[in-house]
Structures are given as structure tokens and as C-alpha cells.
């Protein structure tokens, strides 16, 4: 039998599914302190990255390389992060989340500091690759720790709170980055190193005494067994697909094609691009908590359907847009979809893993988003180059999201509803309720 009593994969037996409160019950979300610490760490990381990101290709070009090789400095970070996710998962399983988390932050901080001191292009390229390895360690371990410190009834809201740290840092970073870069093209690397060092201090001190959920300390299936079993679970595969499509559309096509669409197709200045990204971020931030609450109280499937469906609508809107107003509406719809996809898929992974230490399970989930973020710009750019149509590029992104939407529609629920007790007693007079 499957994780929901259907033949869809044996990883999460029905009697181990985390329970929802009875219908009509009022629950209060109790997020542990560690969730807010992790959100603070995420804010520091995103803040620093937002500051340094615009300066990376400019600094690379200062060594006299072509635009292609300047862009390669950006790509190498993502590529190394992708291929390092599984090794990072192994480190988590062997050493624990907290050690790997702090170590990863230190590696990225040191590599950024040295990158700012680079005297040649090969040095810069190598150090950005090292930073990608540290980033994989941080990402896998922080999410792995998150799902081990929260109870099943607040998993989605915890994921939303954690993502809000990235969101706020991502908004503040670029605004500060312009001022910092005006001083020197090297300065953003030093500031980035500083924000990462601050994150490492916060992680190493405020998470040192974290108490993990005792029943989740030991993984039932160590090594690759947990991943192989999870891949037979339809909910886990659905979460992977949704994370891939989110990376492909939100991080890939949005970052690569939207700026070009605004300037070349709509005939607007880059200011409209910035406005659109702000609209997306504001809508996402406003809906993160409601989306997480829906997932925790009503189950994971409906929020996942809503998130993937809104992503499809947003991409279709961008494919059809011919005016600034429709562009901004489409960006708002994408922001709404991102809010639901920031919590529901992550909660599904936690449900399937049972909240236990499962570094490889988390790493595989993270890789799906990174793979989408890497292939999205490449495929989208190739389509636009071949057809001359931005609409076609966004339409392909919509088709990718349609696949995850269809899977979400038929996905077995990983969050079961507790049977409410009734006033009826057993006929034999034992006083047991009908729910027993």
C-alpha cells in the first residue's frame, strides 16, 4: 500500500502520516526559535548575494575577458552548487546539519573574500566555484535542520517563514548593492563575505543548543535506500517536479527573459523590470503565511495545485502581454504562485521523510530547483534566439509548469485528517468514543 493507502509508493505508511487537526478545530502555530534563527541566516545570505550579484560579471570583464566568460563566472557558482548537493547531503547524514551549515557559510564567506582580492580571471572563476560548494552545504543543511526542529502541524508555515528571510534579503540586497558597487567593483565581495560571516556566527552560536526531535534522530533507511524508496512515492516525485518547474520558471525564465521582454518587446526602460520584480516580491511576501497555514491545516495537495496553476497563468500572461499593465498583473500572479510553491513542496518532502535526518532526500529536492534554474535561461534563450519570440519562450515555461500542475491534481495527500471524537458511546457502555 502507498503512503495514503493507494498503490503509489510505500515510503510513508498511513499510520505514520502526520495528522491534521479535526475539522473546525482552531490551532495556534508554534514555530520554534530555530525557525527564526534560520530565517535570519537566510536573510544575511540573500542580502549579501543581492549586493554582490550585479558586480560579478562587471568584475570579471575587468580582467579583459569576453561577455561569455564573464557570464561563466555566474554560471560556475550554480553549476558547482548543483553537482555538490548530493555530497553535501552525505556530509549532513555523517556530521549533522548544524556542523555542515556553519562550515558551508564559512566556506562561502572565505571564498568571497578571496574572490574580491583576485588578481586574475582564473582565480575568480575558481573561487566562485568553491563558493558554490559552500552554498550547497548551507542550503541542504539549513532545510534539513528546519524539517527536524518543527512538528508536522507547522511544517509549511515554518518553510514559509524561512523563505521570507531569503525574500527580504533579496529585496534589500540589490538596493544596497548599487551604492556599494559605486565605491569599487571589489567592495561588494567584501560586504558579501561580511554578511556571510555574520550568518556563520549566528548559526554557530544560536543553533548550538538546538534540540532535535528525539523520535526523528535515526533514519530508518540510511544511505541511498531512503532516496530510492522516496522516488517510488508519488508525492515526493510531484514535489521534485514542482520544485524543478519553479526553478525553471521563477528563477530561470523570469531572470533571463523578463528584462529582455520589457526592453525589446514592450519598449520600456529597465525601471519597469524592477517594478515588476518588486510587485512579485510583495505579493509573495504577503501570501507566504496564508499559503503555509492552508497547507498545514488543510493538506498539501490543494496549495500545490494552486501554486502550480498560478505559475501557469502567470507565464501565459507574460507570453500574451503587450502592455505594462498586463505585464505587472502577470508578475503579481507569478508572485502568488511562488508563495504557495515556497511551502507546500517543502512540507511534502518533510512528510515523506518523516522529519528524520535525510540529507540525500533534501539534496535531491534542492537539485531539482537548481537544475531548473540552470536549464531555464539556456532553453529560454535558445528558443528566443531561434524564433525571435519571447512569447514562445514563456509558453514553453508554461508547458513545464502544466506537467507539475497535472501531477499535483492526482497526488495522494501526505497530511491526513484526524478523526474527531464524538459524543456517541459504544453500545456496550464502555464509554469509548466512536473515533476509537
What's the pLDDT tens digit per position in 133-151? 999 999 999 988 988 888 8
Please state, in angstroms and as integers, the Cα–Cα distance from residue 333 to each residue in 235, 282, 339, following that order.
25, 11, 10
Give per-residue burial for 371-407: e unless 16+ CB within 10 Å, then b: bbbbebbebbbebbeeeeebbebbbbbbebbbebbeb
Q: What does the pLDDT read at residue 326?
A: 95
Q: What is the DSSP string of 312-359?
A: HHHHHHHHH--SHHHHHHHHHHHHHHHHHHTTHHHHHHHHHHTTS--H
Taken as a whole, the chain contains a residue count of 436
Q: What does the pLDDT read at residue 223?
A: 54
pLDDT mean across residues, the chain = 82
The pLDDT tens digits for 327-364 are 999 999 999 999 999 889 989 988 887 766 677 888 88
Q: What does the pLDDT read at residue 186?
A: 92
Q: What does the pLDDT read at residue 427?
A: 40
Q: Which residues of the chain have pLDDT under 50?
A: 1-16, 18, 23-26, 214-222, 418-436
User: What cell does 324 get?
Assistant: 505594462
Structural domains of the chain sorted by starting position, each given as residue range(s) with its CATH number in brackets? 33-210 (1.20.1250.20), 223-417 (1.20.1250.20)
Amino acid at each position: 500500500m502507498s503512503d495514503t493507502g493507494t498503490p503509489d509508493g510505500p515510503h510513508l505508511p498511513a499510520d505514520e502520516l502526520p495528522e491534521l487537526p479535526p475539522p473546525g478545530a482552531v490551532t495556534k502555530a508554534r514555530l520554534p526559535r530555530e525557525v527564526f534563527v534560520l530565517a535570519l541566516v537566510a536573510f544575511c545570505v540573500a542580502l549579501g548575494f543581492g549586493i554582490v550579484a550585479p558586480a560579478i560579471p562587471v568584475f570579471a570583464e575587468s580582467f579583459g575577458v569576453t561577455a561569455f566568460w564573464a557570464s561563466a563566472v555566474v554560471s560556475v557558482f550554480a553549476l558547482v552548487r548543483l553537482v555538490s548537493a548530493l555530497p553535501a547531503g552525505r556530509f549532513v547524514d555523517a556530521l549533522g546539519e548544524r556542523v555542515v551549515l556553519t562550515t558551508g557559510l564559512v566556506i562561502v564567506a572565505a571564498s568571497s573574500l578571496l574572490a574580491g582580492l583576485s588578481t586574475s580571471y582564473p582565480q575568480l572563476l575558481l573561487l566562485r566555484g568553491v563558493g558554490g560548494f559552500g552554498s550547497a552545504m548551507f542550503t541542504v543543511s539549513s532545510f534539513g535542520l528546519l524539517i527536524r526542529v518543527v512538528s508536522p502541524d507547522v511544517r509549511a508555515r515554518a518553510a514559509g517563514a524561512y523563505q521570507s528571510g531569503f525574500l527580504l534579503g533579496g529585496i534589500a540586497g540589490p538596493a544596497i548593492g548599487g551604492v556599494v558597487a559605486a565605491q569599487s567593483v571589489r567592495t561588494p565581495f567584501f560586504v558579501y563575505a561580511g554578511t556571510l560571516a555574520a550568518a556563520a556566527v549566528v548559526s554557530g552560536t544560536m543553533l548550538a543548543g538546538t534540540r532535535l526531535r528525539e523520535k526523528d534522530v535515526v533514519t530508518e533507511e540510511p544511505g541511498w535506500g531512503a532516496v530510492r524508496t522516496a522516488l517510488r512515492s508519488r508525492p515526493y516525485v510531484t514535489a521534485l517536479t514542482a520544485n524543478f518547474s519553479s526553478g525553471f520558471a521563477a528563477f530561470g525564465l523570469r531572470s533571463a527573459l523578463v528584462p529582455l521582454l520589457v526592453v525589446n518587446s514592450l519598449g520600456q526602460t529597465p525601471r519597469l523590470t524592477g517594478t515588476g520584480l518588486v510587485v512579485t516580491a510583495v505579493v509573495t511576501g504577503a501570501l507566504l503565511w496564508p499559503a503555509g497555514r492552508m497547507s498545514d491545516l488543510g493538506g498539501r495537495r490543494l496549495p500545490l495545485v494552486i501554486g502550480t496553476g498560478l505559475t501557469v497563468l502567470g507565464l501565459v500572461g507574460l507570453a500574451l502581454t503587450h502592455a505594462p499593465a498586463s505585464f505587472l498583473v502577470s508578475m503579481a500572479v507569478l508572485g502568488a504562485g511562488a508563495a504557495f510553491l515556497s511551502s507546500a513542496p517543502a512540507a511534502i518532502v518533510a512528510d515523506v521523510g518523516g522529519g528524520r535526518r535525510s540529507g540525500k532526500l533534501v539534496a535531491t529536492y534542492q537539485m531539482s530547483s537548481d537544475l531548473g534554474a540552470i536549464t531555464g535561461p539556456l532553453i529560454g534563450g535558445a528558443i528566443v534566439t531561434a524564433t525571435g519570440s519571447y512569447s514562445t519562450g514563456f509558453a514553453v515555461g508554461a508547458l513545464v509548469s502544466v506537467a507539475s500542475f497535472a501531477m499535483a491534481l492526482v497526488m495522494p495527500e501526505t497530511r491526513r485528517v484526524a478523526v474527531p471524537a464524538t459524543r456517541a458511546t459504544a453500545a456496550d457502555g464502555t464509554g469509548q468514543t466512536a473515533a476509537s
